[in-house]
């Protein structure tokens, strides 16, 4: 279906534009005194500018009537002319100096507000977001704010002030025909500009959508660089992005072509208006009704009116474009956080750190429930492990505990305090996690380790790294703790990133610990060393372990077996083996797999030893 070309003129879009303009007010209000001074300088600059042709008329009339002009120069008028020119320049620059901090402070505040809002939005939003598109929206939104502030304050208003002053001069000094020509030309110019520009807005919006889509596709392919290489799909990624860019190119060409038609139409209206008013003025001069100075004055006023009026057409287009660019950012602000603190939320008070799930039901989507009446309790100093097949709902428990989502039914509490009744910040401050997939900042190892507790000393960070079996690895690096880890930590192996996550959990010193497949990326030898460190760290802590390898949780005080979101079995390792149920089946299967793997390793070692012996005898 072909989009409605009048979309930009629709009442809904007009309401959006007004809402976007209202979004500017808080940024202007902070520096309202500076804004008022800047506007005062603006008015003075325009008064000086309008005064220039008035003084020029007096100079021309004086020289025209004084045949001895060579010896009777109007010195005072000439000095006044120069002073007005200087005043216009001075007040214009003062206006810019006063307003520059308003503009850049507004951009700074908008960027910080956007970042804070994105952090407030729920995990569901961030799982569904398109990072490249949001990045483009943020960039264009910040730029459009600066554009709107500049054009509204220093293009629209100056033109309006200058137009009113010039119109007042024409009405006061000259026949109505001059005012009619000026106002008629201006009205025709503005109507033509609005009509064509509104029609062109659809193409601008399409360009923005395609540009964001192409940026997101390119960024997504770079983020998944290794996957692209695994499957040799570089050409496919190029073609996919090029298809979007080709559509963007066609829309951009059409937009630019229609701009040329708009510019020609504007120039034609200005030419006709200027010709009509000059013909009228010349006729009045020939009839003796006006002086030569009046002709110069009318001509100068025309130049001062139509030059900014011509610029006004460009300004209007840029403002409309800026409003469209800003609209995506405003819509982002309209996204409300799924998880909010209650109005009477209190700070979480952790005494014993007892964790309790009571008949918890949860679903990500209404038609697909994940957890069914899950109940368990983890007292202080105890470790509870959760096992089960992929998709059983194990990691969902950690997300609910961090309150990235709220339960659909039941209750989760710490020391009897419902998580929904305490502030999210205090809740998350009390919990430390070692996630299954550790994503690091594109910064140094030191920065990523210290992120757990910004105020921690270098000695504390090194101690945490030692407990996580990471310090010796870092010390062997040429740049040590100042080594850059790359985007998302790509320069580190999975095991090294997991050690960083463990060190951060140690450094944070929380009362409740969550280990989500905390050793899944480690070899057996490192795993045993880390497990010993984790047991030390978990002493006197409430610990929830989400595990796949059952050998890592045999010492758990209690083990829950989840199956399709339901607790099927519960007990210690030995109790569950005696039940000969799901847990026993999983244990037998993993033991068998480990035995096969051990046999393969032994055979490989024997083969290598044999090859080495044969090689040495040759």
User: What is the rounded distance in angstroms from the CA atom of residue 389 to the CA atom of residue 589?
Assistant: 13
Query: What is the structure's pLDDT at 132?
Result: 63
Per-residue pLDDT at 72 exceeds 80: no
Query: What is the structure's pLDDT at 125?
Result: 79
User: What is the rounded distance in angstroms from the CA atom of residue 609 to the CA atom of residue 606?
Assistant: 5
Domain assignment present for residue 340? The answer is no
Q: Are residues 494 and 533 in the same domain?
A: no
Per-residue pLDDT at 135 exceeds 80: no
Query: What is the structure's pLDDT at 70?
Result: 47
Query: What is the structure's pLDDT at 521?
Result: 57
Residue 516: CA atoms inside 13 Å, Cβ hemisphere, count? 19
Q: Are residues 521 and 567 in the same domain?
A: yes
Domain assignment present for residue 424? The answer is yes
Residue with the bigger pLDDT between 614 and 458: it is: 458
> Which tokens in the block code for residue 122?
């729920």
Domain assignment present for residue 449? The answer is yes
Count of domains for the chain: 3
Q: Which residue has the tokens 């057996």?
A: 524
Q: Could you tell me which residues come within 8 angstroms of residue 612 by beta carbon, excluding any fewer than 6 positions away?
A: none
> What's the CATH code of the domain at 472?
3.40.50.300
Residue with the bigger pLDDT between 322 and 525: it is: 322
Per-residue pLDDT at 472 exceeds 50: yes
C-alpha Rg value of the chain to the nearest Å: 36
User: What is the rounded distance in angstroms from the CA atom of residue 480 to the CA atom of residue 147?
Assistant: 45
Q: Are residues 82 and 158 in the same domain?
A: yes
Of 172-176, 196-200, 502-506, the one with minimum mean pLDDT is 196-200
Residue with the bigger pLDDT between 517 and 564: it is: 564
In the chain, the percentage of residues whose pLDDT exceeds 90 is 18
Residue 226: CA atoms inside 13 Å, Cβ hemisphere, count? 4
Q: Are residues 505 and 522 in the same domain?
A: no
The pLDDT tens digits for 75-96 are 788 888 888 888 888 888 888 8
Domain assignment present for residue 346? The answer is no
- Residue 11 banded pLDDT, cuts 50, 70, 90: low
**Residues 554, 586: contact at Cβ < 8 Å?**
no
Q: Are residues 503 and 523 in the same domain?
A: no
Q: Are residues 375 and 450 in the same domain?
A: no
Residues spanned by the domain of 498: 437-509
Residue with the bigger pLDDT between 159 and 420: it is: 420
Q: Are residues 386 and 462 in the same domain?
A: no
Last residue of a domain, one of 486, 509, 532: 509
Domain assignment present for residue 555? The answer is yes
Segment 134-156 shows an average pLDDT of 75
- Residue 6 banded pLDDT, cuts 50, 70, 90: very low
Q: Are residues 135 and 175 in the same domain?
A: yes
Q: Are residues 526 and 580 in the same domain?
A: yes
Per-residue pLDDT at 157 exceeds 60: yes
Domain assignment present for residue 599? The answer is yes
Domain assignment present for residue 100? The answer is yes
The pLDDT tens digits for 405-430 are 999 999 999 999 999 999 999 999 89
Segment 501-526 shows an average pLDDT of 79
Whole-number average pLDDT of the chain: 81
Query: What is the structure's pLDDT at 71?
Result: 45
Whole-structure pTM over 0.75, yes or no? Answer: no
Segment 564-593 shows an average pLDDT of 90
Q: Are residues 306 and 373 in the same domain?
A: no
Residue 289 CA to its chain's centroid (Å): 64
Per-residue pLDDT at 5 exceeds 60: no
Q: Are residues 221 and 79 in the same domain?
A: yes
In the chain, the percentage of residues whose pLDDT exceeds 70 is 88
Eight-class DSSP state of 334 = T
Residue with the bigger pLDDT between 263 and 307: it is: 263
Last residue of a domain, one of 509, 527, 561: 509
> What's the CATH code of the domain at 108?
1.20.1560.10
Last residue of a domain, one of 333, 361, 378: 333
- Residue 604 banded pLDDT, cuts 50, 70, 90: confident
User: What is the rounded distance in angstroms from the CA atom of residue 21 to the CA atom of residue 8?
Assistant: 15
Query: What is the structure's pLDDT at 7?
Result: 40
Query: What is the structure's pLDDT at 618?
Result: 39
Domain assignment present for residue 371? The answer is yes
**Residues 141, 110: contact at Cβ < 8 Å?**
yes
Query: Which residue from 436, 439, 434, 414 is spatially nearest to 537, judged by alpha carbons?
Result: 434
Query: What is the structure's pLDDT at 300?
Result: 77
Edge-to-edge strands, sheet with 558-563: 431-434, 512-516, 542-546, 383-388, 558-563, 566-571
Q: Are residues 265 and 363 in the same domain?
A: no
The pLDDT tens digits for 254-265 are 877 777 888 888
The pLDDT tens digits for 323-368 are 777 777 777 888 888 888 889 999 999 988 899 999 999 998 888 8
Segment 592-617 shows an average pLDDT of 69
Per-residue pLDDT at 313 exceeds 70: no
């Amino acid at each position: 279906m072909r989009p409605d070309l009048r979309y930009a003129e629709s009442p809904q879009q007009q309401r959006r534009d007004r809402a976007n303009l209202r979004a500017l007010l808080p940024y202007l209000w902070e520096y309202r005194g500076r804004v008022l001074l800047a506007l005062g300088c603006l008015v003075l600059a325009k008064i000086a500018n309008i005064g220039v042709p008035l003084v020029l008329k007096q100079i021309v009339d004086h020289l025209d009537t004084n045949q001895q002009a060579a010896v009777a120069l109007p010195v005072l008028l000439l000095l006044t002319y120069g002073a007005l020119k200087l005043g216009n320049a001075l007040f214009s620059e003062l206006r810019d100096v006063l307003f520059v901090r308003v503009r850049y402070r507004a951009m700074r505040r908008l960027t910080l507000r956007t970042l804070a809002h994105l952090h407030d939005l729920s995990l569901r939003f961030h799982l569904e977001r398109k990072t490249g598109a949001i990045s483009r929206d943020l960039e264009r939104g910040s730029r459009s704010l600066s554009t709107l502030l500049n054009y509204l304050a220093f293009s629209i208003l100056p033109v309006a002030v200058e137009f009113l002053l010039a119109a007042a001069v024409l009405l006061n000094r000259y026949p109505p025909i001059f005012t009619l020509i000026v106002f008629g030309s201006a009205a025709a110019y503005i109507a033509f500009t609005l009509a064509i520009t509104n029609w062109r807005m659809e193409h601008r919006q399409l360009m923005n959508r395609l540009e964001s889509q192409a940026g997101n596709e390119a960024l997504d392919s770079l983020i998944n660089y290794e996957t692209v290489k695994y499957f040799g799909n570089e050409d496919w990624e190029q073609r996919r992005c090029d298809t979007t860019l080709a559509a963007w190119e066609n829309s951009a060409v059409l937009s630019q072509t229609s701009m040329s038609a708009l510019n020609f139409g504007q120039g034609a209206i200005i030419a006709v208006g200027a010709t009509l008013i000059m013909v009228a003025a010349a006729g009045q001069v020939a009839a003796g009704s006006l002086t030569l100075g009046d002709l110069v004055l009318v001509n100068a006023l025309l130049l001062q009116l139509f030059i900014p009026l011509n610029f006004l057409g460009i300004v209007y287009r840029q403002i409309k474009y800026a409003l469209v660019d800003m609209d995506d950012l405003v819509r982002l602000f309209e996204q409300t956080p799924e998880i909010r603190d209650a109005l009477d939320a209190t700070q979480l008070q952790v005494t014993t750190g007892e964790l309790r799930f009571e008949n918890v039901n949860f679903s990500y989507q209404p038609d697909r429930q994940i957890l069914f009446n899950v109940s368990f309790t983890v007292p202080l100093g105890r470790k509870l492990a959760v096992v089960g097949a992929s998709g059983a709902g194990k990691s969902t428990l950690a997300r609910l505990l961090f309150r990235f989502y709220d339960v659909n039914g039941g209750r989760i509490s710490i020391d009897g305090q419902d998580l929904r009744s305490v502030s999210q910040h205090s809740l998350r401050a009390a919990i430390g996690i070692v996630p299954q997939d550790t994503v690091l900042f594109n910064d140094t190892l030191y920065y990523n380790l210290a992120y757990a507790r910004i105020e921690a000393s270098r000695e504390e960070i090194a101690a945490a790294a030692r407990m996580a079996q990471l310090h010796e690895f870092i010390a062997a690096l040429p740049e040590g703790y100042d080594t850059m880890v790359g985007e998302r930590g790509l320069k580190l192996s999975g095991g090294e990133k997991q050690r960083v996550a463990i060190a951060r959990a140690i450094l944070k010193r929380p009362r409740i610990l969550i280990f989500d497949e905390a050793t899944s990326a480690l070899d057996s030898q490192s795993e045993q060393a880390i497990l010993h460190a984790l047991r030390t760290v978990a002493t006197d802590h409430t610990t929830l372990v989400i595990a796949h390898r059952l050998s890592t949780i045999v010492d758990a005080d209690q083990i829950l077996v989840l199956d399709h979101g339901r607790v099927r079995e519960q007990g210690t390792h030995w109790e569950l083996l005696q039940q000969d149920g799901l847990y026993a089946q999983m244990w037998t299967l993993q033991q068998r797999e480990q035995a096969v793997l051990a046999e393969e390793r032994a055979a490989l070692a024997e083969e290598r030893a044999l090859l080495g012996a044969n090689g040495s005898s040759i």
